[in-house]
Amino acid sequence: MERKYNDYVAKQMERVQEEWLIFLSVEKGASPHTVSNYRRDVQKYCAFQEAHGIEQCDQITESSIDDFLASLSEAKDGPAAAPSSVARALAAIRSFHKYALREGLSTQDPSAHVRVPQVGEHLPKALTVEQVEALLEAAGSGDDPRSLRDRALLETLYATGARVSEAVSMAIDDLDLNEELPIIRLFGKGRKERLVPLGSMAKQALEAYLVRARPFFSSKGKGCPNVFLNNRGGALSRQSAWDIIQRAATRAQLEVPVSPHTLRHSFATHLLEGGANIRDVQELLGHSSVSTTQIYTKVTIATLKEMYRTAHPRAQLDPSDITTSASQSQ
């Protein structure tokens, strides 16, 4: 009897994990990517607590959470976790304990007052318009299926600011290329849907790919509905998209780091520099908060100066004119 009780206690956190992950997926509607990351973070967290003699949620303290987060930042058996990874782990831990408390599986939430680690801004720098054009040209200028696909993918990423996961999961039914300004449907974090216009160059590249290249890839598969296909006719993976961009960056001889997120960042920055309203850019990027867009886009100081110069009523006045006018009126 005692042994069964000990086994029950030892598996308590494991059971809470399983129920919490189902809750995230089914009731909260979290994406598979988020659920996978949270599962990995909390499994590591629970293993750390168990290694220190803690077997139940009620035994965990704020101090033991701090110890776990410190172990991530000061890893001795591998590379230390990035600040953003530590912050994500804490978000997962908070969600885990909040669920356990609400469901009566724990009598306390030790994570409630744990301080969120400060995360530095490690956003990719935007490419210049000239660098983007060089990258797109290098992606594919030929008529072979691979070149047409790669060019269409990069044109789509830059034209829409889509996350790479959104682009590779896009289905044929998500495209409407018949309008003068075509629209594509993207599904962002939490499967939130948004509609994004598509420029003429991206439309042309997509149409060329759909007509002259996609049937070639599709013939090798089993009717995958995704727009972008791999050499076996299945959905193009995020890793494959990353490889395509790296090859294009190498051919374009760009001497700056380039990733799919670089094109998203460039999309937002170039829109803002062209005079777009930040609220509109927020909608296009699929951000739930405009503050995220403000941090993400990092409006250049040159843009801010130009905005101030043209918008502020006293920015371009000549002080001598003010003095002369005042003297004449006396």
Q: Could you tell me the pTM of the whole model?
A: 0.60
Residues 284 and 188: their CA atoms lie apart, in Å, by 11
List for the chain the helix, strand, coil content (%; round to 5): 60, 5, 35
Cβ partners under 8 Å of residue 251, min gap 6:
138
Q: pLDDT tens across 190-205, in order?
A: 778 899 999 889 999 9
pLDDT at 208: 95
Q: Which residue has the tokens 């004449």?
A: 328
Question: pLDDT tens for residues 263-321?
Answer: 998 998 899 888 888 889 888 888 877 777 776 555 455 555 666 666 777 666 666 55
List domains and CATH numbers for the chain: 2-102 (1.10.150), 129-308 (1.10.443.10)
Return the structure tokens found at 82.
């990035």
Give the residue among 197, 177, 196, 200 at the shortest CA–CA distance from 186: 196
Strands 193-197 vs 183-187: parallel, antiparallel or unpaired: antiparallel
Give pLDDT, residue 330.
57
SS3 326: helix
Residue 9: predicted pLDDT: 44
Instruction: Give the Cα separation of 299 and 270 in Å (integer).
Output: 9
Q: Any idea which residues carry the catalytic annotation?
A: 163, 189, 261, 264, 287, 296
Neighbours of 194 (CB within 10 A): 16
For the CA atoms of 255, 258, 263, 265, the dihedral, rounded to the nearest 10 degrees, stands at -90
Taking CA atoms, 63 is separated from 69, 98, 101, in Å, by: 10, 17, 18
Per-residue pLDDT at 7: 44
Spans in the chain with pLDDT lower than 50? 1-10, 299, 322, 325-326
Contact 104, 58 (CB under 8 A): no
